[in-house]
Chains A and B, each alone.
Chain A
Amino acid sequence: MKKIILIFFLLLGSFSTQASGEPQSPDEPVDAFGLIMDHISDAHQWHVVDYTNSRGHEVHINVPLPVILWHNNSLWFFSSGHFYHEQEPQQLGNDYVILHEEQFYITGDEGELEMDAEGNIRNASPLDFSITKNVASMILSMALLLLMFLSAGKAYARHGIAPARGFRAVLEPLILFVRDDIARSQIAKDKADKFVPFLLTMFFFIWINNLIGIIPFFPGGSNLSGNISFTATLAVFSFLVINVFAVKDYWKHIFLAPGMPFPIKILLVPLEFIGIFTKPFALMIRLFANITAGHIIILSLISIIFIIKSIYIAPVSILLSLVMFLLELLVAVLQAYIFTLLTALFIGMSTTKSEH
């Protein structure tokens, strides 16, 4: 791979290695890269606001979150406050645990980390089931979804077919959109309705988490739907639904490639087989990359103010980030739509009988 990159490099002529100029100088206090990475990574506490109080002290307001660790066949519960405020290692049975760059490590009672020659940490990590910022935001989204749709469901059960009013009037076109333009347009008519609840849940779950992610202040701001774990899990659910409900013809189409000459079969079958996995993989990467990129762009635009250290750039940067924010609102719904649409498309492909 390095060679390919080198060839690209040679083809494109000599490029100066400006990008390697990572700010190292002491008179550059703003580490924009680190700041952005902090924002798009998960954390064990929920950052609310920083400010400087009247006495000139910096105040960080953070919500501590529960830490749940699995170590030596038992679960351990802490408040994450212990790990941020007190730097001492916390006891975990016979071992101790510290939080280093949002990652837990098993250490001795001194809380020392062992590094190897390349600077990688050699300490073991316990399995981390903590309610992190992302998990907390996901629970919030779940509560919102349940509130929205259970009340809507009750209202529909009570009012029957009367035209939707209030919040239901907002939800209804979206539900109809998912049912008609996603499920029914991609999946065979007699099967579409079976998948509508799954697709609806997926659509609204992704969308609301995208939206919570772009809210810039406290209950939002987590990068959940731009987290690979989240998108991977959803992609696995897509994968399961696509393949569990697949009909015989779909498997025949993949493994036998009917109607093809033998040499092409040899080529096609492995490709089709890999395709089973690349489809959900692409779903995972797409959602992850789009949402993360959106967060990075907005944060970078804001960071320009601090990098250039000029108040005059602020209006430009804020205007640009506002535009990006609006774009992200669009991307939030678009990515939820694309994830669901492609899932529906793949379901449609796997549940259609005899394509030939």
Chain B
Amino acid sequence: MELLTPSPGLVFWTSLTFVILLVILRKYAWPSILRALKVREETIHFALEDAKKAKEEAEQMEHQRKKVIDEARKERDLILKEARQVKSEIIEEARNEAREEVQRMLEKASRDIEMQRKDAMLEIRKTIGNLSVEIAEKILKEELSGEEKQKKVINAYLNEMNFN
């Protein structure tokens, strides 16, 4: 069959053309094309990787931020709680102290009153003694002038003597 018989001329030209194409394209076209494609692919790959890493970092930072905020909030709550406790303690203490002070003052006052009362009693006793001596003196003097009169004098002094 004519169709199935290779012709040497066409085989020669095909080989020549293919070899020329292979040599020229291999030298001048494919390397730059393939290199550019490879570099681009790698760039994209690295960019994606970087983006992924950046995203992860951002997420981590966000996480950390949240953690810090949570901690701060917790601390604040704790501080507030403590403060409240301290406040109530202080109030309680102040109240107790005030109560004690009042107690103490009351005690002191009653003690003072007692003392003054005792002093007054002593004074009264002393005065009564003195008065009694004076009265006795006057009675003694009055006896000299009549019984009637004496009685009158004693009464008068006793009236004068006012137990206040």
Classify A-B as touching or not with yes or no (CB < 8 A).
yes
* Residues of A participating in the B interface, judged by any CB pair closer than 8 Å: 40-42, 68, 127-132, 134-135, 138-139, 141-142, 145-146, 149-150, 152-154, 156-157, 159-161, 172, 175-176, 179, 193, 196-198, 200-201, 205, 227-230, 232-234, 236-237, 292
Q: Does B33 sit within 8 A of A, measured CB to CB? A: yes
Which of B13, B20, B21 gathers the greatest number of chain A CB atoms within 10 Å? B13
Q: Do the beta carbons of A233 and B15 come within 8 Å of each other?
A: yes
Q: What would be 9 A-B contacts, judged by CB atoms less than 8 Å apart?
A: A42-B10, A129-B8, A131-B13, A150-B24, A156-B35, A160-B39, A196-B30, A196-B34, A200-B30
Say whether B148 faces chain A, with CB atoms less than 8 Å apart.
Answer: no
Q: Please judge, given known A-B contacts A142-B20, A234-B18, whether A153 and B11 are in contact too, CB under 8 Å.
A: no
- Evaluate contact between A227 and B10: CB separation under 8 angstroms: yes
| CB-CB under 8 A for A229 and B33, given A41-B2, A41-B3, A292-B3 | no
Q: Chain B residues near A146 (CB, 8 Å)?
A: 21, 24-25
| Known interface pairs A149-B29, A237-B18; A179-B9 also in contact (CB < 8 Å) | no
Q: Which 10 residue pairs of A and B lie closest in terms of their CB atoms, listed nearest first?
A: A229-B10, A153-B29, A161-B40, A149-B29, A156-B36, A233-B14, A229-B6, A197-B30, A157-B32, A135-B13
B37 touches A176 (CB 8 A): yes
CB-based contact A205/B32 at 8 Å? no
Query: For the complex, is B43 an interface residue (Cβ under 8 Å from A)?
Result: yes
Most chain A CB atoms below 10 A, which of B25, B31, B40: B25
User: For the complex, is B68 an interface residue (Cβ under 8 Å from A)?
Assistant: no
State A162–B68 Cα separation when bound (angstroms): 43
What total count of A-B pairs have CB within 8 Å?
A: 123
Q: Judging by beta carbons under 8 Å apart, are A129 and B37 in contact?
A: no
User: Is B58 interfacial (CB 8 A cutoff)?
Assistant: no
Question: B4 at the A/B interface (Cβ < 8 Å)?
Answer: yes
A161 CA / B30 CA spacing, docked (Å): 15
Which residues of chain B are near A153, meaning CB under 8 Å? 28-33
**Chain A contacts for B25, CB-based, 8 A:** 145-146, 149-150, 197, 200-201
If the complex has contacts A146-B21, A156-B36, A176-B37, are A134 and B28 also in contact, measured as CB distance less than 8 A? no
Task: Assess whether B162 is interfacial by the CB under 8 Å rule.
Answer: no
Q: How many residues of B contact A (CB 8 A)?
A: 35
Closest CB-CB distance, A99 to chain B, in whole Å? 13
Given A153-B28, A153-B30, A161-B40, is A198 in contact with B9 using a C-beta cutoff of 8 Å?
A: no
Please, which residues of chain B bring their CB within 8 A of the CB of A230?
10, 14
Q: Is B22 an interface residue (CB 8 A)?
A: yes
For the complex with contacts A41-B3, A149-B30, A229-B9, 16 further pairs of A-B residues with Cβ separation under 8 Å are A42-B7, A68-B9, A128-B9, A130-B9, A135-B10, A138-B14, A145-B21, A146-B21, A152-B33, A161-B36, A179-B37, A196-B30, A197-B26, A197-B31, A197-B34, A236-B15
Complex Cα distance A245/B36, Å? 27
Which residue of chain B is the closest to A176 with respect to CB atoms?
A: B37
Beta-carbon nearest neighbor of B40 in chain A: A161
**In the complex, what residues of B have CB within 8 A of residue A138's CB?**
13-14, 17
Contacts of A234 in B (CB 8 A): 14, 18
Residues of chain A lying within 8 A (CB to CB) of residue B33: 149, 152-153, 156, 175
Instruction: Specify which of B29, B34, B37, B40 is in contact with A150 (CB 8 Å cutoff).
Output: B29
**Which residues does chain A contribute within 8 Å of B163, judged by CB atoms?**
none
Kindly list chain B residues whose C-beta atoms are within 8 Å of the C-beta of A127.
Answer: 8-9
In the complex, are the beta carbons of A156 and B32 less than 8 A apart? yes
- Whether B10 lies near A157 (C-beta < 8 A) is no
B145 at the interface (CB under 8 A from A): no
Q: Considering the complex, which residues of chain B in the window 136-162 have a beta carbon less than 8 Å from any beta carbon of chain A?
A: none
Q: Which of B9, B29, B30, B43 contacts A129 (CB 8 A)?
A: B9
Partner of A197, one of B2, B7, B22: B22
Shortest distance from the beta carbon of A342 to any chain B beta carbon, whole Å: 17
Q: With A150-B29, A153-B33, A156-B32 in contact, do A198 and B6 touch (Cβ < 8 Å)?
A: no
* Contact assessment for A129 and B24 in the assembled complex, using a CB-CB cutoff below 8 Å: no
Contact status A135-B28, CB under 8 Å: no
Tell me, in angstroms, the Cα distance from A53 to B24 when the chains sit together.
46
B164 within 8 Å of A by Cβ? Answer: no
Residues of chain A contacted by B9 (CB below 8 angstroms): 68, 127-130, 132, 135, 229
- Min CB distance A170 to B, Å, is 13
Contact A228–B4 (Cβ < 8 Å)? yes
Contacts of A41 in B (CB 8 A): 2-3
Known contacts A132-B9, A229-B11, A292-B3: does B17 contact A142 (CB below 8 Å)?
Answer: yes
- Least Cβ–Cβ distance between B44 and chain A, in angstroms: 9
CA distance A230 to B30 in the complex (A): 23
Q: Which residue on A lies nearest to B30, using beta carbons?
A: A197
What is the CA–CA distance of A40 and B31 in the complex, to the nearest angstrom? Answer: 37
